[in-house]
Structure 1
Amino acid sequence: MTAATTTGAVPVWTAPAPRFGGVLADDAAALEAYAAAGEELLARLPPKPHRSPAQHAAAESAVGACRAGRRAFLALHAEAVYDELTDGRTRHLRLTDLLYAAADRFPGLAPTRTQMAAEGDWIQAEKEGREIDQAVFCAAVLRSASAGAHLIDAMLKPTPRALELLDGFRATGRVELDSVLVERVGDAAHVTFRNAHCLNAEDNRLIADLETAVDLVLLDEGVRVGVLRGGTVDHPRYQGRRVFSAGINLKDLRNGNISFTDFLLGRELGYINKMYRGLLTAPEAEAWADRTVQKPWIGAVDAFAIGGGMQLLLVLDRVIAEEGAYFSLPAAEEGIVPGAGNLRLARLTGARPARQVILGGRRIGTDEPGTHLVCDQVVPAGDMDEAVETAVRELSGPAVAANRRMLSLSEEPLDLFRTYLAEFAVVQVARSYSEDVLAKVERRWQRSQARD
């Protein structure tokens, strides 16, 4: 297939859109040829930051057309593709593995490892945006009730890294990861965030470490309750103080180091969903109670819980905050979607306060009447340890896990979560490449460079 004619030095996209007939093999071959034509055009252009306006337009035409082709193909074949990649749903593939399997088995449907590695050489504003194509694929799978549920199951299974560390954790009660410390104290496992250089902001490394930590807490039979708390940080304003979380690391977003599969979608399907719905240990069982391991979770909030930090609190069973702390979801200011916060916050606060927080940037401080909607207890900073110990005792009873399981089922049915994430996947990745977000993170980065 010829991708383009050439007008002067600029190739022009001319490939006709494929007509899919509903036969998987034939339609896959047509998509492969169409996507190859798009790659041919891109190969004739300089890298994105060095393109002229006309070259940008040519690239956008090819990329947009190929993306539309993928959407049309997946509208017909998403379930059949998923079944083939998972051997009839007998294998559980995590997001990244699933996407690369799709790229290998159905060329042109999803970015390859080589293409994604090349994207990693650029800051966010200078990438081709291949993660958008990953989101198109994931959204199509999640829109299917059957395939989407199977993918959610795959992401609820223990990670290989946690399984490797489990025996050591059971024996010593301690695992020290790069950005997280997990310690067993009595009936509780304390998970401490240690991204000290960035106010415990979330990045790819912290998300991976937190999923490992959550797996260990849920797998260790000696643990009844999980406790999340931020460690001490290096920031001059909070030097030596504990901070819960500053949310997404916007410097990493600017630098192109926030992954769609490992962070933007992976955190929602990974460690946060495991805390909420439990760890999948027996996928073949019929009853949900027999398939998963669930335990109650406590959040101890020092200083603040911003963005992703506040999102995390929405799935916990007890939230304790120190006096003077505050909570916020600055989604409108940052220009992105606050994870599953839009799905969950209104359940706790009601619709109007949720809109004030998400759309208007309202902060909820511990001295405000609305604090009780997102926080169970406010204590002086010096009393936090005692308050956490009391909460552990109260939540360690044998019936607590069973009741919180039933609460979760009634509050957020799996299909509601699945359909939300199908839309979230495409909306969030599009926002992460939008001009307003790129401009904001660039301005913040420039200011930080000037201060340094």
Structure 2
Amino acid sequence: MTETVLSETPAEGVRQITMNRPDRRNALDRATYQGLIDALAAADADETVRAVVLTGAGGCFTSGNDIKDFAAGGMDGPRVAIDFLTAISTAKKPIVAAVEGFAVGIGTTMLLHCDLAFAGSGASFRMPFVTLGLCPEGGSSYLLPLIAGSKRAAELLMLGEAFGPELAQEAGLINAVTDEGSALAAALDKAKALAALPPQSVALTKALLKRGNAVAVAETIATEARHFGERLQSAEAQAAFMAFLTKR
């Protein structure tokens, strides 16, 4: 684990993984991605863990990729991000997300790979890939049309505008909207319920639910990653990064 990723056991059978860079709105740099990968692997390998809760510190889920880290890191940044997406999309234990504050970019697309997700009423979602001169990632170009419909997916991915938890629920990204500040409690309740069920049955049910789309998701993540890496080096993306960093 790294200090930017916290791992704890808030209840029997439940592993809570917390993105912990509150001063950066939990922006994901390379070290944090690796910490998440390690935490998910540890949870899958631990027979005492029956459910995972994924959340962010300081009242924020994550503001997405750390643009400064990515801009300076060449291909290392996107590579570890893809490794994380592969890890979360193939995790064997059920994952329950608790979203408060910002869920930007990969902060939204990773929810497509969580089994359950809850968001506080003040949460804000956004997938600004086009705005940054990039393209969708995390299998979102396949999974989002599947769960939200093609028109809604085009709206959210092409325009890249911010949207609230009600629309996130309508689009199938979350299960329910909670009172602000209560998403983690809701996620922990569901994780405890999952942990109390027969673990092999839970694992098999998750595997069967994922089975139908597993190959397509893996292929889409890889295809998106190739295009994402190319776009990252493009003049459009570099100009967008510079404008973003100049405003900060």
So what's the TM-score if we normalise by structure 2?
0.90
Q: Is the contact made by 1:364 and 1:371 (CA closer than 8 Å) also made in structure 2?
A: no
| Greater CA drift, 387-396 or 244-253 | 387-396
Partner of 1:378 in structure 2? 177
* Residues in 2 aligned to 1:213 and 1:318: alpha-carbon distance in whole angstroms: 18
Q: Does 1:360 pair with 2:174?
A: no
Map 1:227-306 → 2, pairs under 5 A = 227-232=53-58, 242-254=59-71, 256-257=72-73, 259-260=74-75, 262-268=76-82, 270-278=83-91, 294-306=92-104
Partner of 1:90 in structure 2? none
Write out per-residue CA displacement over residues 406-448 of structure 1, whole angstroms, 9 at most, x where no aligned residue.
11111x232x244334433431111111111111111222222
* Residues in 2 aligned to 1:369 and 1:420: alpha-carbon distance in whole angstroms: 22
Q: Is the contact made by 2:143 and 2:217 (CA closer than 8 Å) also made in structure 1?
A: no
Offset of 1:388 from its aligned partner? 2.1
Q: Is the contact made by 2:14 and 2:50 (CA closer than 8 Å) also made in structure 1?
A: yes
Partner of 1:402 in structure 2? 204
Taking a change above 3 Å as real, the CA distance of residues 383 and 423 of structure 1, as seen in their structure-2 partners, is closer
Partner of 2:149 in structure 1? 350
Partner of 1:336 in structure 2? 134
Write out per-residue CA displacement over residues 37-67 of structure 1, whole angstroms, 9 at most, x where no aligned residue.
xxxxxxxxxxxxxxxxxxxxxxxxxxxxxxx
Taking a change above 3 Å as real, the CA distance of residues 210 and 422 of structure 1, as seen in their structure-2 partners, is closer
Taking a change above 3 Å as real, the CA distance of residues 423 and 373 of structure 1, as seen in their structure-2 partners, is closer
* Residues in 2 aligned to 1:204 and 1:447: alpha-carbon distance in whole angstroms: 23
Q: Is the contact made by 2:168 and 2:174 (CA closer than 8 Å) also made in structure 1?
A: no
Taking a change above 3 Å as real, the CA distance of residues 277 and 439 of structure 1, as seen in their structure-2 partners, is same
* Residues in 2 aligned to 1:197 and 1:206: alpha-carbon distance in whole angstroms: 14
Give secondary structure in 2 for the equivalent of 1:390.
helix
Offset of 1:370 from its aligned partner? 5.2
Give secondary structure in 2 for the equivalent of 1:228.
strand
* Residues in 2 aligned to 1:210 and 1:216: alpha-carbon distance in whole angstroms: 10
Q: Is the contact made by 2:148 and 2:171 (CA closer than 8 Å) also made in structure 1?
A: no
- Segments ≥4 residues shifted beyond 6 Å: none
Q: 1:323 aligns with which of 116, 121, 135?
A: 121
Partner of 1:182 in structure 2? 7
Partner of 1:195 in structure 2? 21
Taking a change above 3 Å as real, the CA distance of residues 324 and 249 of structure 1, as seen in their structure-2 partners, is same
Q: 2:109 aligns with which of 289, 296, 311?
A: 311
Give secondary structure in 2 for the equivalent of 1:381.
coil
Q: Is the contact made by 1:192 and 1:229 (CA closer than 8 Å) also made in structure 2?
A: yes
Write out per-residue CA displacement over residues 83-119 of structure 1, whole angstroms, 9 at most, x where no aligned residue.
xxxxxxxxxxxxxxxxxxxxxxxxxxxxxxxxxxxxx
Give secondary structure in 2 for the equivalent of 1:327.
strand
Partner of 1:3 in structure 2? none
* Residues in 1 aligned to 2:87 and 2:167: alpha-carbon distance in whole angstroms: 31
Rg (Cα) greater in structure: 1
Partner of 1:447 in structure 2? 247
Partner of 1:423 in structure 2? 223
Write out per-residue CA displacement over residues 273-296 of structure 1, whole angstroms, 9 at most, x where no aligned residue.
233223xxxxxxxxxxxxxxx110
* Residues in 1 aligned to 2:88 and 2:218: alpha-carbon distance in whole angstroms: 16
Map 1:75-154 → 2, pairs under 5 A = none
Offset of 1:203 from its aligned partner? 1.2
Q: Is the contact made by 2:55 and 2:184 (CA closer than 8 Å) also made in structure 1?
A: no
* Residues in 1 aligned to 2:245 and 2:168: alpha-carbon distance in whole angstroms: 36
Taking a change above 3 Å as real, the CA distance of residues 369 and 191 of structure 1, as seen in their structure-2 partners, is closer
CA RMSD of superposed structures (Å): 1.9
Q: 1:437 aligns with which of 225, 237, 241?
A: 237
Q: 2:31 aligns with which of 182, 191, 205?
A: 205
So what's the TM-score if we normalise by structure 1?
0.51
Partner of 1:413 in structure 2? 214
Q: Which runs of 5+ in 1 are unaligned?
A: 1-175, 233-241, 279-293
